[in-house]
Structure 1
Amino acid sequence: MRIPNELVQQIQQAADVLDVVGDYVSLKKRGSNWIACCPFHNEKTPSFAVSPAKGIYKCFGCGKSGDPVKFVMDIEGVSFAEALRHLARKYNIEIPEVEYTPEETQRQNEIDSLYIALNFAKDFFKQQLQTPDGQAIGLSYFKERDLRDGTIDAFDLGYSSSAWDAFTKEALSKHYNLDILQKAGLTIVNDKGRQYDRFRDRVIFPIHNLSGRVIAFGARIMTNDKNQPKYLNSPETEVYHKSRILYGIYQAKNAIRQVDNCYLAEGYMDVISLHQAGIQNVVASSGTSLTKEQIQLISRFTKNVTMLYDGDAAGIKASIRGTDLVLEEGLNVKIVIFPDNDDPDSYVRKVGSVAFQEFVKNNSQDFITFKVKLYSKEIQNDPYRKSEVIKEMVASNVKIPDPIQRSVFRRQIAHLLDVDEQTLITEENFLIKKERVDYQKRTEKQQTPPPDSYPPESYHSFEDQLPEGVSFAPEETYAVETGSKVTDHSRSSMSYREEGVIRLILHYGDQVLEGTEDTVCDFVMRELEDIAFQTPLYQQVLDIFRSEWMNGRILKSEDFLRHPDPQIQDMTITMLTEKYTISDNWFNKFDIRVAHESDNLLEETYNQVLRLKQEVVRDKIAENFKAIQATKDINQQLQLLRVQKQYKEIERQIANILGNVIR
């Protein structure tokens, strides 16, 4: 279905970038922008910036950027049309439904079809819960677990009958494509071509993504068939990657952000029972081992994790790896162990919400205390096992990125296990060095990571090769980010000056310069009338500005944010997003006002244009010097030297105005 252009514009105007991004990432205000750790790549220090005023986001680490629609496309992995539908639902904008033509159906994205099939399955399983069998078996099971109707509905719980193909028959009768049903993990076709349901005689737990769409199912068997697994999950699909999703994250994300803590449990019922008890900041790894991607998902909303384990010692030891992963991602982790024979589900139903939270508060342990208690009996009379445990502790501690936290926990290890702290430091250094060597081996054939920012301007003279008074600026090398890839290029100083001019007119093109009748764009277009930019992208943007300016219109940054050329879009977002902002504390606490370029736009515009002209002159000096070296004709050399002197005088005059030093 094609969405009318006027409706597209309505959705784009309604979508607030701070609101949309905030559904997925925990943002903190910094100056006029909001920042967070990027949801698109792993990082410890926030480099992801959102500008509400401009309606854009930009990651200075991986290069991802765009508007609210682009964010939904990237974070959900959906098409442009599906991202618009998502935002339309969020802002209650109705998109009229029309009949699909065969051609439109054929072009429909497969991922969209998977979502539709999975949503149909969710509705089917919910309806089955109301059938006689569903009420007698499925609903009875949920009621035995003390679940209320509102909770069952909030998590879209359902039931699948024992019939071999009840769901598949119903789906096919509704004209759902068998191939899509297979790819969604709902229907299995055996070697003989027989079709049957993946989920049979089970209660159903739909798994939602961050935006609330059903992407998979977990199912618990209702019989004592030892040949069948107790829990069965959907297979990996185009929309479901179990290592990247957590059960209950859709229902919990707002509570996690508000409480600034995430309870991490192990099972579906743990999440649902705690949610019903009013403890909504809880998710589960759905029976899979905790993964790095799942921890990064949590880190979008909080840096604090409380891991909830039942009293099964074997299960606890198997989960220790998850603790190390949380530490490695820079999160603060606490661990709670419930009494024997209890898990979060049974315990909250036994004692209630208030007592449950009191227990968690009083029994939360840091990972060091937790591990010491866990292994206390093993190491009591066994020095060899004790040394192994100490090494395990150090290996865990060294994963913590924060050196101060690492130091605090190191002292705690030394105290609890009666070991010299210097010995622990030596072991840590050994592990760090080993990791560094391993990393170098893995990356020795890869490119050098890009610097955080462009190198400072530096010009060195070649007086031993040039006539007296002649100098020029050589080219500089830099690393430029293009999307998520980094490519090395040779970039001249001229390119930086061109960038400065383009950035200026993108920000302030229509603003009138103080004491004049000219806008910034007027001044730039007239002053650079005869100058061609060397960087093709900047020349393209300048040409677009100039063409509209000559027709009496001054373009704004919004005109380039939605330009059909993605390279121009990305360049615009990069130039509009400030990587660093001045803290308000300079003024609020110390009464120190830090000037911004917009405070003296006339001087800034004048200087930007003058710096560009300075580079043009330097290029002329370099070209002229090459001509001097190339000719053998004395008269021609004298003529070129006179030209060189004129260029150098112009360069000197510009430098005096700008306050530069020319050697």
Structure 2
Amino acid sequence: MISKATIDTVFETARVEEVIGDFVNLKRAGSNWKGLSPFSEERSPSFMVSPAKGIWKDFSSGKGGNSVAFLMEHSHFTYPEAIRYLAKKYNIEIEETEQTDEEKAITDVRESMYLVSEYAKTYFNNTLLNSEEGKAIGYSYFKERGFTNDTIKKFSLGYSPESWDAFTKEALGKGYKLEFLESTGLTIPRDDRPFDRFKGRVMFPIESMSGRVLGFGGRILTNDKKAAKYLNSPESEIYHKSKVLYGIFQAKQSIAKLNNCYLVEGYTDVIQFNQSGIENVVASSGTALTPDQIRLINRLTKNITVLFDGDAAGLRASVRGIDLILEEGMNVKVCTFPDGEDPDSFAKKTSYDDLVLYLETNAKDFIQFKASLLMNEAKNDPIKKADLIRDMVVSISKIPDRIQREIYIQECSRIMDISEQVLHSTLAQLVQKDVVEVGKKQKQEQKAFEIVKNENPFEAEKVDTLGNVEREIIKILLLYGNISEVFEEVLIGTNSEGEVDDLTEQIETKVCQKIYLSLQQDEVEFASILFRNIYNDLINVYLQNESFNLEQYMMHLNPEFAQAIADIIMDDEEHVLHNWQGQNIFPKTKLETLNQFVTDNLFTLRWFLISQFIENSKNSVSREPGADNIGFLTEANDYNGLLKKFSYKTGRVVVRYH
């Protein structure tokens, strides 16, 4: 179990914008940072990070919290794993305390699969470097490919022995359960004796963006024609081939920094490019490119350069992937290598400077690429040329941005020597077809909505007025509780004529004390259990400490509190996403009218509770003849008078909250 001192050090050291910046491409927005949500599909940023508060909020999914909460949500880390990850990132030594049997037992299936996969990576790497068989076969193979020891270490390359069950036997001996060896696909079940899936192969661990081992790719080194050259882990709870990219863990920082991602096909393409000094490269691992893989890159950059070898058949198949990239609103270029060369072989024999120059010089816009690729086939055949032009316009129609579409139409017109008018007409037909399809879908959804609506024709969603007010009071305590303000207090006294009257006095006090004393005086308790618990916890902190630091307070909150608090205090940051200042709209800050803001919320809470009491009193009135309702009516009348006084104080019209 990780010691409290280590956890404290991790929280004090970790910067939320640095932690999240490893996974999301963040851009500065005032004192905050913003980016595309890693939890939903979007093209406009709704993900906010506040370094000053040490928290983040994703407005598209509603998720939020501190840096540890992000790792738990994004990378499916357990709490201890998130702490260990941050400790490793910031070179913090972890102090351990004795773990109880109960704590050791709290390991779910996914975590067990991750642990088995991590062990397998270590085992295969150790076998490659330290066993006679591994050095003679696996290590020799990687050396022939030109990979250095540093490269082998960086990508944790390994070797699985030729023996049928060498890995399985070793893992079972270390205490790993057979069910998890089988569920990860490392071991193939058989009644008489389970055996290793990857026996006799060099191993390529496939890692998530956060560095967790999801699965493996294994290459056979013999000439066995019955066996597949490359073998991947099967789909599992933690490994989905269509949602991962090989090398993303090693490439993420370079991709974000250089604002471009090179996309290749194979493991060795990625490794050779890295060894040549180009790290912003990932591979689709031999599968057709998928929207999920593109969105993974989209979190880090909007620019993709697809690298292909000179194989014409492979190039034609790759064109489909380009359209998918365009549909995601990303910018795509294509770079091909000379005949007989692929990214691996070309990078191996080319210096870093020459490789960078080649990529910059030969990377073509997708329009130019399609034209050069397919014009050789079309040649002087007008029908094939027409098909080519139509194919190019189909690609253009996938682009969401109208201005970009217009520019590409102009470029296509110039390259293919055809009028823009004809291209616009074809594009309009394609776009209209898409609009019709969307319209049909919307009608179906609307029809479904109407059915639901007609089932409850008079039922409308109620506004949770009390919950909103309680939420605002929590927000005030979190953000402004330690600030001193001048408040107008109403006291009972005698006026100049000797009559008892309400007297006002200006009193300076801390916001937290104002709220606490007001609610204590009114004997008010929050209705929401969650808000009540947060309020009580906050008040205890304020009463016991002279100062309050939000970031430190967030450190040790349980996940439920952390999520709720992130939701509350980041709501005000959503206006940053809309860039009101850029539109010459300058909303007043809460600090400019803090005393009024606090007073209004306390009045609103009282207003609501009194209105609720009056309604309850009315409902308690007996309809029986001769019933004595004077007490109820008098009390309700007194409270009505109090509401009118609130109305006078705040300048509001008297309304009743139900």
Question: TM-score scaled to structure 2, two decimals?
Answer: 0.82
User: Which whole-Å deviations, capped at 9, do the CAs of 1:224-254 have from their partners, x for residues lacking one?
Assistant: 2111111111122333222222111111112
Q: Which deviates further from its counterpart, 91-100 or 121-130?
A: 91-100
| CA offsets 1:425-462 (integer angstroms, 9 cap, x no match) | 422432331341354267457779xxxxxxxxxxxxxx
Q: 71-80 vs 608-617, which deviates more?
A: 608-617
2:645 to 643, 647, 650: 650
Shift of 1:334: 0.7
Which residue of the partner structure matches residue 579 of structure 1? 573
1:161 corresponding residue in structure 2? 161
Q: How far off is 1:259 after superposition?
A: 1.2
Structure 1 counterpart of 2:515:
524
Residues 571-605 of structure 1, C-alpha deviations (whole Å, 9 max, x = no match): 31112113335699999x99998642213422332
When residues 550 and 429 of structure 1 are mapped into structure 2, their CA distance, relative to the original with a 3 A threshold, is same
Contact 1:31/1:584 (8 A) holds in 2: no
Task: Answer whether contact 2:2 2:96 (CA < 8 A) is retained.
Answer: no
Moved more, 264-273 or 163-172: 163-172
Residues 639 and 590 of structure 1: is their aligned pair in 2 closer, same or farther, counting only changes over 3 Å?
closer
Residues 66 and 562, structure 2, Cα contact 8 Å, conserved in 1: no
98-107 or 564-573, which deviates more: 98-107
| 2: CA distance, partners of 1:492 / 1:100 | 44
Letter in 2 for 1:171: A
Tell me whether 238-247 or 99-108 shows the greater mean CA deviation: 99-108
- 2:475 is matched with which residue? 503
Q: CA deviation at 1:15?
A: 2.8
SS of corresponding position for 1:35: strand
Name the amino acid aligned to 1:350: K
Alignment partner, residue 128 of structure 2: 129
Report matched runs for 1:87-102 at 5 Å.
87-96=86-95
TM-aligned CA distance change 1:527 to 1:159, over 3 Å: closer
AA at the equivalent of 2:432 = F
Matches within 5 A, 1:21-420: 21-96=20-95, 105-130=104-129, 131-190=131-190, 192-417=191-416, 418-419=418-419, 420=422
Letter aligned with residue 62 of structure 1: S
> 1:602 and 2:574 equivalent?
no
On the 8 A contact 1:36/1:46 being kept in 2, the answer is yes
1:112-169 per-position Cα deviation (integer Å, ceiling 9, x unaligned): 4333332332233223334444334323322222222222222222223322222223
- The one-letter amino acid of 1:501's match is I
Higher mean C-alpha deviation, range 145-154 or range 548-557: 548-557
Aligned counterpart for 2:426 among listed residues 424, 427, 447? 424
Query: Which segment drifts farther, 205-214 or 538-547?
Result: 538-547
Residues of 2 paired with 1:358 and 1:559: CA distance?
Answer: 49
| Deviations, residues 596-629 of structure 1 (Å, cap 9, x unaligned) | 221342233234434555656776898899999x
Paired residues of 1:208 and 1:250 also in contact (CA < 8 A): yes
2:455 alignment counterpart? none
Question: 2:439 matched to which residue of 1?
Answer: 437
Deviation of the 1:281 alpha carbon: 0.9
Q: What is the RMSD computed on CA atoms of the aligned residues?
A: 4.0
**Fraction of identical pairs, as percent:** 39
What letter matches 1:38 in structure 2? Answer: S
Q: Which sections of structure 1, spanning at least 5 residues, go unmatched?
A: 449-474, 478-488
Higher mean C-alpha displacement, 91-100 vs 277-286: 91-100
Q: What is the rounded CA distance, in whole Å, between the counterparts of 1:225 and 1:600 in structure 2?
A: 78
Q: Is the 8 A contact 2:63 2:567 kept in 1?
A: no
Query: What SS class does the counterpart of residue 567 from structure 2 fall into?
Result: helix
1:303-362 C-alpha deviation (Å, 9 max, x unpaired):
111000111121122222221222222221111111211111111223322222212112
Q: Unaligned stretches of 5+ in structure 2?
A: 451-457, 487-505
Alignment of 1:623-634 (within 5 A): none
Matched residues in 1 for 2:469 and 2:98: separation?
Answer: 54
**Is the contact between residue 2 and residue 97 of structure 2 (CA under 8 Å) also seen in structure 1?**
no
TM-score normalised to structure 1 length: 0.81
Structure-1 separation of matches of 2:35 and 2:159: 40
- The letter for the 1-side match of 2:243 is R
Aligned counterpart, 2:485:
513
Q: Is the 8 A contact 1:624 1:644 kept in 2?
A: no
Q: Is the 8 A contact 1:260 1:304 kept in 2?
A: yes
The alpha-carbon distance between structure 1 residues 623 and 286, as it changes in their structure 2 partners (threshold 3 A), is same
Q: Partner of 1:34: helix, strand, or coil?
A: strand
Distance in 2 of aligned mates of 1:363 and 1:32: 40
Aligned to 2:462: 490
Deviation at 1:78, TM superposition (A): 2.5
